[in-house]
């Protein structure tokens, strides 16, 4: 909990105490009814706090992470809370979540995702070089048998395994160029094949 959260919590507690005191003073003649009203308001207050704390989980459960509009041939991807777009693809039958990165030239797999695909990362030849925001990293070329996005299946797709630390696998331009168009509109990434 940072200082802003602590300040907000203190403010809400003081506001609750002020409102509760006012209700108590106004209804001191009927303390039983006042206590009942305070209990109701306390439960409402706790419910609001719980809903606020669970909002991200509720939102991700209610809103799909990616939706396919089959009648138009478009795939709509909502922007994540961190401001990025993520696509969940099946690579060789294994679900992998990719960060859509128009600044990346290629598909780049993390060490962990490559291992999940059955790639022996220790035996790869890391002869490639890539410039990243964190400097130069070594990469190894691999071929992905199938890359599936809903009903779209691409075969023999070139990719690279990053030798260094990478938080998310990257879905770069080599994959995005397979689409007729991609655009960002109303906080959504829209891919059209």
Report pLDDT digits (tens) over 11-43: 888 888 888 777 777 766 776 777 787 788 888
| pLDDT number for residue 63 | 53
Q: Which CATH class is domain 67-192?
A: mainly beta
Are residues 67 and 137 in contact, defined by beta-carbon separation less than 8 angstroms? no
Mean pLDDT computed over 160-168: 89
The backbone region for 93, taken as left when phi is positive above 0, alpha when psi lies in -120 to 50, beta otherwise, is left
pLDDT tens by residue, 83-114 = 899 999 999 999 999 999 988 899 999 999 99
Q: Which residues contact 99 (CB under 8 A, 6 or more apart)?
A: 84, 85, 86, 167, 168, 169, 170, 171
What is the SS3 assignment for 77?
strand
Q: Where does residue 175 rank: exposed (0-12), middle (13-18), buried (19+ CB within 10 A)?
A: buried
What is the predicted pLDDT for the residue at 58? 60
**Which two structure tokens, joined as six digits, stand for 50?**
């719980």
- With contact defined as beta carbons under 8 Å apart, do 90 and 147 qualify? yes
- Residue appearing with tokens 């797709």: 157
Residues 116-155 have pLDDT tens digits of 999 999 999 999 888 877 778 899 999 999 999 888 899 9
DSSP conformational letter for 63:
S
């Amino acid at each position: 909990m940072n200082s802003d959260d602590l300040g907000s919590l203190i403010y809400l507690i003081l506001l609750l105490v002020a409102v509760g005191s006012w209700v108590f003073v106004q209804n001191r003649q009927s303390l039983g009814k006042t206590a009942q009203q305070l209990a109701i308001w306390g439960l409402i207050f706790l419910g609001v706090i719980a809903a606020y704390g669970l909002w991200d989980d509720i939102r991700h459960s209610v809103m799909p992470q990616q939706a396919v509009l089959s009648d138009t041939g478009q795939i709509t991807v909502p922007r994540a809370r961190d401001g990025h777009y993520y696509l969940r693809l099946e690579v060789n039958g294994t679900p992998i979540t990719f960060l859509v990165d128009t600044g990346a030239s290629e598909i780049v797999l993390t060490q962990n995702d490559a291992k999940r695909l059955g790639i022996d990362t220790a035996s790869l030849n890391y002869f490639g070089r890539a410039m990243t925001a964190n400097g130069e990293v070594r990469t190894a070329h691999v071929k992905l048998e199938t890359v599936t996005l809903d009903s779209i299946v691409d075969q023999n797709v070139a990719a690279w395994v990053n030798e260094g630390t990478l938080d998310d696998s990257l879905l770069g331009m080599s994959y995005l160029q397979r689409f007729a168009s991609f655009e960002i509109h109303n906080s959504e990434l829209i891919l059209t094949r």
